[in-house]
Each structure stands twice: as C-alpha cells, then as structure tokens.
Amino acid sequence: MTDQDKEFMREAIRLSIENVEAGTGGPFGAVIVKDGKIVARGNNQVTSSNDPTAHAEVVAIRNACKELGSFQLDDCTLYTSCEPCPMCLGAIYWARPKKVYYANTKKDAAEIDFDDDFIYKELELPLQERSMPFEQILRDEALEGFKAWTNKDDKIEY
C-alpha cells in the first residue's frame, strides 16, 4: 500500500461521508483508478434512486465502464469504503479490476444494520431450502437463446 493508495481510499471514504450528509443513500463510497488517476466515482444511491442495485461499487463500475468505453476494468484498481457485499463482489469479479482495496469490514457494516451475512448463508443452501422460493420453468424454450449464442459467429465474448 502506497501513499497514493491511501489518498484514493480517502476519496472513497469522503464520498461515503458526503453521501450520509446529503441523504442520498448509505455510508458507502467507491473510486476506480487507472494509470494513477481516478476515472470514476460512485456513492450508494439505493434510496435516492429506488434502485436496490445502486451500491457504491456498482455505480462506480458503471461510471468507469462508460468513461473507458469497455465492459471490463482492465488495469484498474477499485477503492471502496467497505468490504463489498455479495452482489458487489459478483459485479467486481465480472468487471475484472486488477485489485480491490477496502476500508470497513462486513462486520463493521453489520454493526450498523447493513448485514449481508444472511445472503452468504442463503447461497450455501440448496435452492429448495432458501427463504425465497425458486422454481425452474420453460428451460427448453430458454435454451433456444443459448443455442443462438453458441451459433453466433460475431459475438463479443466476455
């Protein structure tokens, strides 16, 4: 960790505090850096946008991908004010930054009632034991989309 890493993390933390003061969402901020420069920022906008996916990391990823003109964050580093939740973790892996730094832990978040532990526990359960019912329907029809993808010669793989 360098002094520059600390400065980028301080910006993510500043965004988290600013977000609380502005009342636009929870106490979470994130920045994405490439070549030593911030290319995107994100703050939690769940309550202000009525979007449960508008976590700071997801907002930052969306902004960075738009700015960079890419669906991947090659050679980028993500700085986030808190250890990512399961949804953000999935988005981060799909975006493929080279490294992630975080400040607060998921335990710290749970102590202020942002507890994602139930999601981690749900993921470990078989589908039929999860608290939200999941039922498979129309698989044969849906496979047509997969077949079309498999046969598409000019697809952009990711």
- Catalytic residue IDs: 57
Please state, in angstroms and rounded to a whole number, the distance separating the CA atoms of residues 88 and 80. 11
Distance CA 43, CA 28 (A): 6
Cα-atom radius of gyration of the chain, to the nearest Å?
18
Q: What is the Cα 106 distance to its own chain's centre?
A: 14
* Residue in this structure with the two tokens 């309550």, named with its chain if needed: 47
